[in-house]
Structure 1
Amino acid sequence: MQPISPFPTLVSVPPVPLRTVGVGRGARVAATAWTLFLEARPAVQLVFLQRILVTSGFLVVPHPDAGRLLLGWPMLAVAVYVFNGVCDQDEDRVNGSGRPLAQGRIGIRVAGISCAATGLGGLLLCGWSGPGPLLLAVASLALGWAYSAGPRWKDGAVSSALSVGAGALLTYAAGWLVYGGPHPVLMLGALLAVWVTCCCPTKDLSDREGDALAGRRTLPVLLGPVRTGWVLGVVALVAGGLVAAAVLVLAPVFLPVAVVVVVGSVLVAVALPAASRATDRVGRRRPYLMFLSCQLAINVAAVAVMV
């Protein structure tokens, strides 16, 4: 029996056919690929690529296995995030998302085919890198399915955060498996995954309306945006301090990473109170964008230490 949609009043937005633009077949394929990449959140995909660079040692000692993983793992991430967009299409429309699927700029069928193609391609490349990366690649796809489709871990505040953190940990671990480098590198990835788990709920502040209609129990839905802002601010500060302290004790060579974690946590915490009171989507998303920017800076600092 099919579940009843929680969005009965929404009007379906038909996809815009690219063939009407008056361009050649190759250009249409390129435009479709770019639109799908936009759906997969380019900044998030850059973070996944950075995570592989941090633990795979590719910039230190370039080797084929790490190179194949650098191609394969981002393909898995694209598949997971486009699939999430397919599953969240109705909620994203309610929340005013600008992503292509929510705006009807690409169809569900095309998105589904791309998920299958990029997922399979990613599995093949990860398997070519070794049995360990292949196993983690399968786990990553399974996690993406469980998060978005069933049992829909995205619906709970704790299960959603743990899923995002687990995705970060799997990525760092996959890079480390092909590198076989020192344990502090893997330890760093695990600590950063903890920080990601604690701060990632900032993404839910801008999606409260759609999440509530979908029956999700995120922190903004359960506590309201203002209380959520204060709770997440405290969590960000505590998590940032503990993770930075652990980095200094267990892997002191990564001191720059610890510094960026602390600074990033403070910036996220400072942005949360105003964002929790904002009435527009842009204002509500500032803490998440700050969190995302801090991830980029953290990974850059980690790579700089290794190189």
Structure 2
Amino acid sequence: MYLTEQSKISRLADARNLRLCWTEARPVVQGIFALRFCCGALLAEHHTNGAVWPRVATVLACWVAATWAIYLLNGVADVVEDRENGSIRPIARGLLPVDHAKSVVVALSAAAIGIAALISPAVCLLVVMHLGIGIAYSTGPWPLKGNVPGFLGAVVALGGLTYLSGWYASGATEIGVPLLLFGGAMSLWMAFGGATKDLSDTTGDRLAGRRTLPVVLGDRAARVVMAIGASAVGWGFLLAALRWAPSLTPVGFVVCAGSFVLTVVVSSKVSLGERFRRRRPYRAFMITQYAAHLTLLVSLLK
């Protein structure tokens, strides 16, 4: 009886820790990666049939596992700066043991690679590259997150690989202009818009030795660069869609509008002050991402 109760308590603790691992990996980020993958698959310009979609779902499962591992590892690596910045994520608050999180990272990575290897060598290579860049982003003697070029390169690569994996999973044989345009623009949006997260984390980043835009340029200059970058992506995407991929025009308007909102928010007093206010540009970036991908999905599924 005692052993049964102990086993039950242990299972409940494991379930709780697994849930905390998912929370640590930021469900809102996991969701947008899944949407990127699905958009890549649907933009493949390939006539799919019922036999293809089980493959897409299986590759997506591998991709979700790998992305979960990447962002959980990021939480482990960022514990010092997260605590300094007042993060409410489980590891920073001491709710999730670091050793348990590391073991889940290993298990997720092994599962993603193992299942991918059973699908095809190409899928396995894509998953390994995704994990490799994600690991290099957070760990090692010179993590890519620690400097602006490393951050920009890693983020664009993670986005591009996700769209590419969705395309490949669909069984497509050609990469069309819509996929190149949408995948490229939204990967750049990840880089310039995603950098706004650093505006609320300057204290911890400086303590950890990270050379982010706000640390290197100062808060005001970093905001100017972020506004210019986001605007360039938004307007560039819209104009390119009008010229080369009219079917993406509605999405282009969404991203362009989002870039305008982000520019206004990051350049005004509404994003100054305490941490919640300083994260408003990042929320504008994330909302724009979701709106753009959902707009595309609705148009493709009509």
Tell me if both proteins adopt one fold, taking TM over 0.5 as the criterion: yes
Query: What runs of 5+ residues in structure 1 fail to find an aligned partner?
Result: 1-22
Distance 1:176 1:270, change over 3 A: same
Shift of 1:276: 8.3
Q: Partner residue of 1:158?
A: 149
Match of 1:30 among 15, 19, 27: 15
Match of 1:268 among 239, 262, 266: 262
Distance 1:305 1:277, change over 3 A: closer
Q: Partner residue of 2:161?
A: 170
Q: Partner residue of 1:257?
A: 251
Contact between 1:39 and 1:101, CA under 8 Å: does it hold in 2? yes
Contact between 1:40 and 1:81, CA under 8 Å: does it hold in 2? yes
Partners of 1:125 and 1:191 lie apart in 2 by 30
- What is the one-letter code of the residue matched to 1:246? A
Q: Partner residue of 1:16?
A: none
Partners of 2:119 and 2:260 lie apart in 1 by 38
Match of 1:140 among 118, 130, 133: 130
Partners of 1:66 and 1:130 lie apart in 2 by 12
Query: Pairwise mapping of residues 56-95 of structure 1 onto structure 2 (< 5 A)?
Result: 56-57=41-42, 61=49, 63-95=53-85
Q: Partner residue of 1:8?
A: none
Q: Partner residue of 2:217?
A: 223
Shift of 1:185: 4.4
Partners of 1:279 and 1:256 lie apart in 2 by 35
Distance 1:277 1:41, change over 3 A: closer
Large movers: runs of 4+ above 4 Å: none
Q: Partner residue of 2:272?
A: 278
- What is the one-letter code of the residue matched to 1:133? V
Give me the TM-score of the superposition, normalised by structure 1.
0.87
- What is the one-letter code of the residue matched to 1:24? I
Partners of 2:252 and 2:270 lie apart in 1 by 27
Q: Partner residue of 1:300?
A: 294
Q: Partner residue of 2:234?
A: 240
Shift of 1:206: 0.7
Query: Pairwise mapping of residues 186-225 of structure 1 onto structure 2 (< 5 A)?
Result: 186-187=179-180, 188-225=182-219
Shift of 1:277: 6.0
Shift of 1:133: 2.0
Q: Deviations over 1:88-122 (max 9, x none)?
A: 10110001111111111011110000000111112
Distance 1:128 1:256, change over 3 A: farther
Tell me, what secondary structure is at the counterpart of 1:166?
Answer: helix
Shift of 1:230: 2.0
Shift of 1:186: 2.7
Distance 1:261 1:41, change over 3 A: same
Give me the TM-score of the superposition, normalised by structure 2.
0.89
Distance 1:111 1:247, change over 3 A: same
Distance 1:103 1:306, change over 3 A: same
Q: Deviations over 1:144-184 (max 9, x none)?
A: 11111123010111211221111111100001011144513
Contact between 1:155 and 1:215, CA under 8 Å: does it hold in 2? yes
Match of 1:46 among 3, 28, 31: 31
- What is the one-letter code of the residue matched to 1:163? A
Contact between 1:94 and 1:210, CA under 8 Å: does it hold in 2? yes
Query: What runs of 5+ residues in structure 2 fail to find an aligned partner?
Result: 1-7
Distance 1:275 1:204, change over 3 A: farther
Contact between 1:84 and 1:148, CA under 8 Å: does it hold in 2? yes
